[in-house]
């Protein structure tokens, strides 16, 4: 379910009987790229890895994105193993599959439960995060101090740390401001580079690639952006869902820190290796 929406994946963990294993599944669910991250991954893969392969470009970009997904699955298994050996020690529960008695499906009940228990719950969380976040993004990009936007001040402040990750300040700022929804990370990046003051949504990959490369993107930037897209803090909707499902602020913070630390360290390691051999 996490491939569609990480928040829905967290809600889906309700079926796990063991509280320990349920918590491990919730904490590692974010390593599975959700539907909001796939367009960004596909765009970057198409621009920087598949653009020179002609008719085979679609196949190459698909393989690149598939490889990123496999990295995410590997990280899910790795972090699950580490958690089960450290802060969430315990014995694995046995899996028993019981066949319930056959009953005629109650379609009305199924629709009502699926809509109210899952769909409306997730949508309500998304709206409560997206509305105020949209206002904040607009203010940051349109309020100027000495003819420089607040967004640029933030990006310049984050730039030294972002460089260690093989990124730049605008990219890191976009990920932070994109916490309401992963879909707006690329529009925020384009808005920052083009200084438009409003979110930019371009569909032409070649045009997007031109803007990115004009602002210093190279192969290392693309690799690290894809890695950090895979491994960074959950979106706001997912965080609220985790808080609701676990009933704990502590585990919500842990769910924020685990993928973020993994993403930062992975990008720093990639940049270090790149600078040695390239």
Instruction: Summarize pLDDT for 10-33 with one digit per residue, the tens.
Output: 988 888 888 888 999 999 999 988
DSSP bridge pairs for 144: 149
- Overall average pLDDT of the 168-176 stretch: 92
pLDDT of residue 87: 83
Instruction: Summarize pLDDT for 198-240 with one digit per residue, the tens.
Output: 666 677 788 888 999 999 899 999 999 999 999 999 988 899 8
- Delimit the domains of the chain by residue range: 6-89+137-277
148 sits in which H/E element: strand 148-149
List all residues 6 or more positions away from 268 whose beta carbon is below 8 Å from its beta carbon: 164, 165, 166
- Overall average pLDDT of the 114-124 stretch: 61
Residue 129 pLDDT more than 60? no
Instruction: Summarize pLDDT for 29-49 with one digit per residue, the tens.
Output: 999 888 889 989 999 998 988
144 sits in which H/E element: strand 144-145
pLDDT band, residue 94 (cuts 50/70/90): low
Residue 58 pLDDT more than 60? yes
* Cβ(83)–Cβ(24) below 8 Å: yes
């Amino acid at each position: 379910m996490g491939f569609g929406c990480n928040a829905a994946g967290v809600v889906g963990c309700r079926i796990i009987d063991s509280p320990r294993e349920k918590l491990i599944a919730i904490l590692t669910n974010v390593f599975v790229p959700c539907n909001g991250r796939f367009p960004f991954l596909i765009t970057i893969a198409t621009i920087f890895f598949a653009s020179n392969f002609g008719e085979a470009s679609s196949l190459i970009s698909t393989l690149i994105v598939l490889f990123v997904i496999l990295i995410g699955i590997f990280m899910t298994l790795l972090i699950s193993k580490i958690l089960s050996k450290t802060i969430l020690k315990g014995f694995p529960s046995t899996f028993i599959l019981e066949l319930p008695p056959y009953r005629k499906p109650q379609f009305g009940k199924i629709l009502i439960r699926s809509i109210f228990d899952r769909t409306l719950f997730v949508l309500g969380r998304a709206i409560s995060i997206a509305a105020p976040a949209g206002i904040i993004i607009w203010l940051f990009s349109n309020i100027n101090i000495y003819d420089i936007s607040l967004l640029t001040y933030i990006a310049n402040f984050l730039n030294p740390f972002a460089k260690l990750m093989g990124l730049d300040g605008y990219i890191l700022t976009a990920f932070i401001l994109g916490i309401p929804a992963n879909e707006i990370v690329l529009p925020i990046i384009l808005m920052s580079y083009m200084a438009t003051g409003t979110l930019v949504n371009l569909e032409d990959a070649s045009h997007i690639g031109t803007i990115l490369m004009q602002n210093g993107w190279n192969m290392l930037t693309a690799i690290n952006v894809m890695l950090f897209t895979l491994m960074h803090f959950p979106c706001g909707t997912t965080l609220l869902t985790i808080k609701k499902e676990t009933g704990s602020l502590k585990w919500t913070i842990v769910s924020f820190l685990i993928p973020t630390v993994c993403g930062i360290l992975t990008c720093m390691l990639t940049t270090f290796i790149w600078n040695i051999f390239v």
